[in-house]
Every structure is written in C-alpha cells, then in structure tokens.
Homo-oligomer: A and B are copies of this chain.
C-alpha cells in the first residue's frame, strides 16, 4: 500500500502510468515524453516496478513496460472502499484480453 502511494506521489510516475494505459511501451519510448535524463527515468521505472504497478519484458535491445492495471485497481479501490467510497468490489474481469492477438 505504502509503496503504491509513494509511487503515485510523483507526477512523472503518474504520467508514466497514464502513458502505459494505451498499451506497453519501451523504456526509451516512455522517456521520450519527459524532460529528464534516461537514468532518472530508469529510477522512476524501478520505483513503479517495486510497487508492482508495472512489469518489464525484454524484447531485443529494448525493455518493454506494461501497466499492471489490476494492481493499481486493487490498491486504489481497496483504499477508497475502506472509506466507503467508490463502487462495490467488482466480481471478476472478463478474461483480460489485453492486446489483440494476431
């Protein structure tokens, strides 16, 4: 919980998550959207990884990051619900068809 909120407490990291909403992106592709150095971005990715909000997958030279929406959902909605906010817990997702298979 703390890890998630700490990760979310930085605007750059929140923006990274937003970018990842549209599908997986490489570290470099993500970094291009920001005005800080690659190493700094790499550190931000590490924080998000440690919070389990994103996952990395290696693809050739690149590292592809993708959003772990369910983790974000559980943290955010779980906390909200503890305040009586938001909807009741969702039963289940439809099988998680993530990215149009070929």
Q: List the interface of chain A (C-beta within 8 A of B).
A: 1-2, 5-6, 8-11, 14, 17-18, 21, 69, 72-73, 76-77, 79-80, 82-87
Q: How many angstroms from the CA of A9 to the CA of B9 in the assembled complex?
A: 7
Pick the contact of A85: B11, B14, B76 (CB < 8 A).
Answer: B76
A52: shortest Cβ distance to chain B, in Å? 15
Chain B: which residue is nearest A79 at the CB level?
B76
Q: How many angstroms from the CA of A72 to the CA of B5 in the assembled complex?
A: 13
Chain B: which residue is nearest A72 at the CB level?
B83
B21 x A83 contact (CB < 8 A): yes
Q: How many angstroms from the CA of A56 to the CA of B86 in the assembled complex?
A: 26
Pick the contact of A80: B5, B18, B82, B86 (CB < 8 A).
Answer: B86
